[in-house]
Copies of this chain bind each other. A is one copy, B any other.
């Protein structure tokens, strides 16, 4: 009967939600902002210690310009909203690339907002290849050493990953931190987030036998 210390959030289905609601694909992302802050407040109440949001990836940046502009704007807005909460916030991603929004550069160093509280990691222009590109050949199989060498080294092992939008895949989400994660998939699209989604995921998680591969 355990609570996850660290939850990973894959907020998928924004574009499909937009199409379903008669909008252009790129108009879906804005409707994902309210769910993001709602989820944060729920996790805060529940005492979750760390929360990682999958913003956008280096793969996503290959999409048509109206989409890349829209999801970049939504991520900037999401970080701004979260920085008004009590949280210790870090944006993680390839900030050397022109696809990384300049206005988020100050957030690539972890900052405490309000009274601190939940550790939030927000992935922006994140790529698994970028994450692993900093791993050195240490000639060691020491796990802590490997994790310390990731570009995402400030993000800890994830207990539970929740994905909205029906897909059953990681899509490049933090391959090392997710080696032992439990996956909970929700059919609804992310903009249709309901508090029950999180509660169902946590209820399911409590009945998993967590062995860390043992």
Q: Which residues of B contact A130 (CB under 8 A)?
A: 141
Q: Is A73 an interface residue (CB 8 A)?
A: no
- Give Cα distance in the complex from A172 to B213, angstroms: 7
Q: Is A200 an interface residue (CB 8 A)?
A: no
Q: Which residues of B contact A169 (CB under 8 A)?
A: 180-183
Query: Are B180 and A172 in contact, CB atoms less than 8 angstroms apart?
Result: yes
Q: Is A171 an interface residue (CB 8 A)?
A: yes
- Given known contacts A171-B213, A214-B63, A132 and B180 CB-to-CB distance under 8 angstroms: no
Q: Is A77 an interface residue (CB 8 A)?
A: no
Q: Is A146 an interface residue (CB 8 A)?
A: yes
Q: Is A136 an interface residue (CB 8 A)?
A: yes
Chain A residues numbered 134-175 whose CB sits less than 8 Å from any CB in chain B: 134-143, 146, 149, 167-172, 175
Chain A residues numbered 89-148 whose CB sits less than 8 Å from any CB in chain B: 94, 127-130, 132-143, 146
Binding site for B on A (CB under 8 A): 57-60, 62-63, 94, 127-130, 132-143, 146, 149, 167-172, 175-176, 178-185, 208-209, 211-214
Query: Are B146 and A140 in contact, CB atoms less than 8 angstroms apart?
Result: no
Query: Chain A at the B interface: mostly helix, strand, loop or mixed?
Result: loop
Query: Are A213 and B57 in contact, CB atoms less than 8 angstroms apart?
Result: yes
Query: Are B214 and A60 in contact, CB atoms less than 8 angstroms apart?
Result: yes
B94, B133, B141, B179: the one contacting A133 at CB < 8 Å is B141
Q: Which residues of B contact A209 (CB under 8 A)?
A: 167
Query: Are B129 and A142 in contact, CB atoms less than 8 angstroms apart?
Result: yes
Q: Which residues of B contact A57 (CB under 8 A)?
A: 213
